[in-house]
A and B are shown apart, each in its own frame.
Chain A
Amino acid sequence: MIEGKNKSSIIRMFHVNKNYGAKKALVDITLDIPKNELLFISGPSGAGKTTLLKLLYLGEAVSEGQVLIEGMNLSRISSKRIPLLRRKYGIIFQDYKLIATKTVFDNVAIVLEAIGKKRRFIEKKVKSVLRTVGMEDSLHSLPLSLSGGEQQRIAVARAVVGDPKIILADEPTGNLDEDSADIVLELLKRFHARGATVIIATHDKELIRKTGGRVIHLNQGYLQKTTTV
């Protein structure tokens, strides 16, 4: 029914199930995300928000169904091309996933190093992104010496430093005070305005209300309803 109709879809999920052993984390999810949408995935704890995002970047494989990213079927992608898939994304992980042994600068720079950017470019770009999230004074700190909110801002910086096509943000403001949350939200909006597709998983109703957009409601793995705020 949906197939082939919407050419500008960047992400499509068809009847996706995800089980962790006997636990059903996602049940029969069908979803079509157009290019440059700003989409919220909301739902209570354990609803399957993080799991849904993981399926998109192959952090986990689907149990049943299909996921297509820019027409690429993730069930048939060769392991060699997985890095190329992941470079489409900037991901803000719920648990940040910062490298504890590397400085703030190196944590952010690694995204650009991995794609072979020049040293000089990396220096400039990383510093400018860190300035945007208000962390330019912590270049040489180690992540664990920072507060939760500060770590989250580093995670945001790393997610956007490569100018990704798609941003996956898993509770991007979960640990932030209102002012910092607003900065991060502005940053995500700015990338959205520049053409990126932005998917934000959150149970923060206030955040959704402030921003507006399509909202997917998950509950215990089921797609309950779709609303637009």
Chain B
Amino acid sequence: MIFYYKRALQDIIDHKFLNAITIITIAISILIVSAFSLFFVNANEIINSWKKGIRIMAYLKPGVPEVKIPELKQKIKRINGIQDVRFIPKSKALQLLKKQMKRQSSLFENLKENPLPDAFEIRLIASSQNQDKVEIIATRLESFPQVDEVEYGKKWLGRFTNFFNLFRLIGYAMGGLFFMAAVLIVANTIRLMLYSRREEVEIMRLVGATDRFIKAPFYIQGLIQGTFGGIIGITILFITFMFISSSVDQGFSPGLFTIKFLSPGAFFGIILYSMFVGWIGCYISLKQFLK
């Protein structure tokens, strides 16, 4: 066993440059793959939190008598896909607005009358929280004569989701491409290694060494390349992440959302993936070389 490691390390030392290139290539592909996964994890999080917050505001025409409100509320409630309806009288809306804009409160001081409309805030059940359903419900609401305007601000959410899906596709394609590139580079390095040791391999076979005995150090080498490449790739990503997230935190109001780094599980998953890259590259060239 020690013998295998000794030989693998010897090979790495003997071919520093080649191994460095291989490890860097693996690191780059790991960096790209994990950068994409990091982006997806966070984008998913944000989209989910937005989806949860999907609500429809139905603003009423001025002059709807207060006694009619409960009846209207019931009617709205009967629309399919609605979880909860809340009436927000214009006085409350103004209060809320004043609270939100404390610093600019002077603006409100000389208001003679409340310019805001009464409104219903409508929350949807989970299965209705998509673009199509939201639009159907909105149209229903607009058909009420008392309703002046319907707002469900996140029209762009649908477009964003589409964009996100496209991006995800590109991510998969890039991941696949870089996986192949990394595998081929490892395969090539191991092939050169094998070539430089072909005499030795031949002699080992003649003195009765099994293929397993001959191959093991190469696999160890592939795994070492994979592990180091993975660690370096993730480290670069982490440093970049720290850099970006600290500047993002300064720029945006904190608490809006927090960007997260990969979970420990994902971290080890990526290292394993990277080791797999090393292993499979090795497998390919050994298969060719030792028929």
Binds B, one of A11-19, A21-29, A84-92, A200-208: A84-92
Which positions 139-183 of chain A face chain B at CB distance < 8 Å? 158, 162
| A110 B206 Cβ-Cβ under 8 A | no
Interface residues on A, range: 20 to 34
- What is the interface of chain B mostly: helix, strand, loop, or mixed? helix
A89 to B210, CA, bound (A): 15
B213 near A114: Cβ-Cβ < 8 Å: yes
A77: CB under 8 A from chain B? no
A82 to B213, CA, bound (A): 14
- Is B239 located at the chain interface by the 8 A CB criterion? no
| B2 contacts chain A at the CB level, 8 A cutoff | yes
**B residues contacting the other copy or chain, number (CB 8 A):** 15
Chain B residues near A (Cβ < 8 Å): 2-3, 197, 199-200, 203-211, 213
Q: How far is the CA of A100 from the CA of B199 in the complex (A)?
A: 9
- Tell yes or no: A57 within 8 A of B by CB: yes
Contacts A99-B199, A99-B200; A110 near B2 (Cβ below 8 A)? no
Binding site for B on A (CB under 8 A): 57, 59, 82-87, 89, 91, 93, 97-102, 110-111, 113-115, 119, 158, 162
B203 pairs with A97, CB closer than 8 A? yes
A70 to B115 alpha-carbon distance, docked (Å): 106
Task: Please give, as numbers and ranges, the residues of chain B lying within 8 Å of A111 by CB-CB distance.
Answer: 207-208
How long is the Cα–Cα vector from A126 to B220 in the complex, in angstroms?
A: 27
| Distance between B275 CB and nearest chain A CB, rounded to angstroms | 25
Tell me the complex Cα distance, A162–B210, Å. 15
> Given contacts A113-B3, A114-B213, A119-B2, are A101 and B200 in contact (CB under 8 A)?
yes
Q: Which residues of A contact B200 (CB under 8 A)?
A: 99, 101-102
**When the two chains form their complex, are residues A114 and B210 in contact, meaning their CB atoms are under 8 A apart?**
yes
The closest CB in chain B to the CB of A109 belongs to: B3
A162: chain B residues within 8 A (beta carbon): 208
Q: Is the CB of B206 within 8 A of A57?
A: yes
B208 touches A86 (CB 8 A): yes
